[in-house]
Chains A and B, each alone.
Chain A
Amino acid sequence: MSARGKGELDPSPWYTRFADYRDRGISISFAFDDTTRALMDATVVREDECLFDRILIGVGEDGTPNSTPNVFVCGFGATVITAFTLAQHSLNTIFDVMTSLTAGRPPAV
């Protein structure tokens, strides 16, 4: 990967991975238009036995990711989140998903 200028966005896709305590991870790759920054489909890959089963974008009323309305639950393997689904959550550009981004576990039983 070549160096980018300070503050300059890397070209599409924008990838990040979150690992659990045994380094079993869930990753998300956002494809976007390099000119307009408009989001296209995002692909989530949940590795076998990874404890995290959801991507959390933004924060909710309590200021934490727990209460965010933007929760995308995914099974093991690859899951595509379409641009239409992202837009339904008002996630329209790559900058919209940078507000707070992490992964989460299923709710406690």
Chain B
Amino acid sequence: MAFGDQDASGPVFVKANVAGKNVTTGSFTPPSGALLIAFAWHDTAGGNLTNTSVVTDSLGLTWTRRATRSKQDDGAGAANGHIAISTAVATGAAMTVTTTGTNTGNPAGLYVRVIPGADTTTPMDATPVEGTTNAAVVSTSIVTATDGARCFLQVIDWNVAAAMTAGTGQTSVVSDAIGASDDRVYLGVTNAVTSPAGSTALSTGSPSTGNTNNWIGIAVRPAAGGGSVSGTAAATLGALAAGAAGTHIVSGTAAGALGVLAATASSTRAVQGTAAAALGHTTAAAAGTRTTAGTAAAALGTLAVTVIGRRTVLGAAAAPLGGATGHGDAGGAKSGSAVAALGVLAATIAGRRTVAGIAAAVLPGVTSPASGRRIVVGSPQSMLGGLSARVVVISSTALAGNAHGPLPVAPGAVTVHTVSIAGAIT
């Protein structure tokens, strides 16, 4: 996971064509402290000079408008169609985000990027660039100031030419239409952070005829203290040790081991890639997102933590798929395929714990002396693991066990038609 990638919690693009001129994302729960960037698109009537929009959310966060491109904001020199970029900082609570237009057309679109490890005080690394391009691809650049910034290009085509594609070195995040093909909408991101800081090209690859584009380019600044190691190594791809806040990433392909990340301060830590030997692990003693994901010919590393934070081990391993152990709230997850055992999740404080996957050997359990939902689901060739919590284990069609207390019914075949839960599960 590189800086500026969408966090796993991020919502999907949403679009609407309603009289309220608004569109709302589904609910999502971003990590606390993550930067939220709302990219909004609104249709306009031809020649309209009074169109505006505003971003709000279900938590009442403060949204700061970073850039707008429209005839209302930029005069008759701009094309029809309205785009805007706003930012806020996540609290860690579940939320939805809405953009609402005024004097716009009904069609609207909204995409929210969730970026952990960003500088939330000064998220724009450079003054946004904006402009209008007719009958040509968008081709501009932005000059970043900080090493490791990530750049985005947002575009609207009011004239409804062909769907837009990404320019060289960029990837399309959104390329769609809103309304009854009232507008084409596009968001692209550079394939990698800009390092060292400097000029970064932002462009579309097509179309180059029939389009009337309003566009905005931004660069997102990483938090101070971040670092990364990435690439392809014939032997071991190096490790990163960090004691300060910031995004720290080891990613790539290694003929040997893929390195280890060690950190004691909160923020995003990730090890991701393919390794002929072991895929390294992340160790941390402070809150923050920790991820190990990839494919390893040997073991897929372990995640160990002692305090609050999301912990995830995800991937395929020829040896055991490592475990996640935690003594803090907030839960952990493990899923994947392992030729040997699928690792164990253990926790001593409340939180959701899940083990799911396919294991040729034992699909292990979840152990926990504290309250919380605990689930083991999977298809082991030997046994489905035990649980010592308030859980029910379902193996194939058999109700296999409930270690916390007597089962409501005797173990045996299970047929589930409809389950309705009206109150709390205790």
Contacts and interface: CB of A to CB of B under 8 A. Distances in A.
Interface of A: 1-10, 16-21, 23, 51-52, 56, 59, 63-66, 94-95, 98-105, 108-109
A20 B12 contact: yes
B352 interface: yes
Candidate in B14, B58, B207 with the most chain A CB atoms within 10 angstroms: B14
Nearest to B210: A3
Interface string B87-105: 0000000001010000000
Contacts, number: 103
Contacts of B211: 3
A103 B180 CA distance: 19
Contact of A64 (B24, B158, B161, B162): B24
B14 A100 contact: yes
Interface in B345-386: 352, 354, 373, 375
Given A100-B15, A101-B15, 19 more contacts: A1-B162, A6-B158, A6-B160, A9-B181, A17-B176, A21-B6, A51-B8, A64-B27, A64-B58, A65-B24, A65-B25, A65-B26, A66-B96, A95-B17, A99-B17, A102-B25, A102-B26, A109-B352, A109-B373
B176 A3 contact: no
Given A6-B158, A66-B26, A109-B352, A103 B12 contact: yes
User: For the side of the interface on B, what is the size category?
Assistant: 35 or more
B159 interface: yes
Which secondary structure dominates where chain A touches chain B? loop
Given A8-B160, A16-B176, A101-B16, A109 B181 contact: no
24 contacts: A2-B162, A3-B160, A4-B160, A4-B181, A6-B160, A7-B160, A8-B181, A9-B181, A16-B177, A19-B12, A20-B6, A21-B7, A21-B10, A51-B8, A64-B25, A64-B26, A64-B58, A65-B14, A94-B180, A100-B16, A100-B18, A102-B12, A109-B354, A109-B375
A108 B26 CA distance: 13
B181 A23 contact: no
B24 A63 contact: yes
B132 to A, nearest CB: 16
A-B interface, 6 closest residue pairs, ranked by CB to CB distance from nearest: A3-B210, A102-B14, A21-B6, A100-B16, A1-B162, A98-B17
A6 B159 contact: yes
